[in-house]
Amino acid sequence: MTTPATNVATQPVYFIPHGAGPCFFMDWNPSDTWEAMVTFLKAIEHELPERPKAILLISAHWLAPEFSVTAGPAPELIYDYYGFPEHTYELKYPAPGDPELAKQVTGLLQKAGLAAREDPVRGFDHGMFIPLKVMFPKADIPVVQLSLAMDLGPKIHLAAGKALASLRDEGVLIVGSGMSFHNMRGYGDARYTAPSARFDSWLTEAVENSGDERVRRLENWSGAPHAHDCHPRGHEEHLIPLMVTAGAAGDNAGKRVYTQQVMKTQLSGFRFG
């Protein structure tokens, strides 16, 4: 990234659901299963204060021993989903990388005392290119992808977000890409409808709380009602991008801006700022 002009608008922060594999680009039964989610994702571009200078996306589908950052100028796509129609492995999203931003992200994390490294060969996984293909279909905004730390601890990910918050003032849109409910056994099972809704209500209240209280609650999310029915122990990776986005939000208010029952489970998306 180049040094920003002083009149660059501060970008908000989003936690988005990225659906099921390449679900937005294939037939589904019923056909409108993902329609409301697509509408939500498409609208984001038009709700921003200005076009982002770059996007920093935290994907649930990249776990590493330490925070890792895509640093190549043109990362390839990683089709890390299985058993889907052949055409979904031919999807393209040729967004450029941003080695300078990658270096900046790594530096900010290290300055905060967090282990971080640049990865010059890592590509973009489907937690990045599937939702961004809906949100910014022209693929003309530079993107850097940030991994999760493998221990999935909420505190370290909240701290990572806090360390990266200043990027928002430079026109960088920070996006956490995951799912507010992610238990593969629960999708399509009516026994999970009420538990997922109760957890979703707790999560929404936590996100919409004030900054310090929000952090306290999210640090202790595993004590929420039905937390591990919605995110089984050891497989919390789809919730953890929310921690990074909440950390990057600082004192900005959080708000649930999308919610829908999909495959008998409640799913939500959140915006900060």
Instruction: Using DSSP, state whether 207 is helix, strand or coil.
Output: helix
Q: pLDDT of 191-237, one tens digit each?
A: 999 999 999 999 999 999 988 999 999 999 999 999 999 999 999 99
**Confidence band of 273 (pLDDT split at 50, 70, 90):** very high
Can you give the pTM of this predicted structure?
Answer: 0.96
pLDDT higher than 60, residue 27? yes
Structural domains of the chain, ranges and CATH numbers in brackets: 13-272 (3.40.830.10)
Mean pLDDT of 79-104: 98
188 exposure class (CB count in 10 Å sphere: 0-12, 13-18, 19+): exposed
Is 70 exceeded by the pLDDT of residue 68? yes
Supply the pLDDT for residue 2: 46
pLDDT value of residue 1 = 59
For residue 88, give every residue at least 6 positions away whose Cβ sits within 8 Å of its Cβ, in sequence order, or none. Answer: 21, 22, 25, 26, 79, 81
If you average pLDDT over residues 47-66, what whole number do you get? 98
pLDDT over 90 for what percent of the chain? 97
Tokens read off for 6: 């002083």
pLDDT for the residue 7:
82
Distance of CA 167 to the CA centre of its chain: 16
pLDDT in tens, 108-146: 999 999 999 999 999 999 999 999 999 999 999 999 999
Count how many Cα atoms sit within 13 Å of the Cα of residue 134 in the half-sphere of its side chain: 25
State yes or no: pLDDT of 4 exceeds 50. no
Predicted local distance difference test score (pLDDT) of residue 6: 62
Instruction: Please name the amino acid found at residue 54.
Output: A
Q: Is the pLDDT of residue 242 over 60?
A: yes
pLDDT given at position 170? 98
Contacts for 168 with CB less than 8 Å, ≥ 6 apart: 10, 11, 12, 13, 174, 248, 273
Asked whether the beta carbons of 169 and 119 are under 8 A apart, the reply is no
pLDDT at 49 over 90: yes
Banded pLDDT at 64 (limits 50, 70, 90): very high
Half-sphere exposure (CA, 13 Å, Cβ side) for 228? 7
What pLDDT shows up at residue 211?
86
In this structure, how many other beta carbons lie within 10 angstroms of the beta carbon of residue 2?
Answer: 8
Residue 131: closest CA among 261, 40, 41, 240? 41
91 φ/ψ angles, rounded to the nearest 5 degrees: -60, 145
**How many C-beta atoms lie closer than 10 Å to residue 84's C-beta?**
16
What whole-number distance in Å separates Cα of residue 248 and Cα of residue 221?
18
Looking at the predicted structure, is the pLDDT value of residue 71 above 80? yes
Q: What pLDDT was estimated at residue 69?
A: 98
**112 neighbors 161 (Cβ within 8 angstroms):** no
The residue among 173, 219, 221 whose CA lies nearest residue 199 is 221
Tell me the C-alpha distance between 191 and 194, whole Å: 7
pLDDT mean across residues, the chain:
96
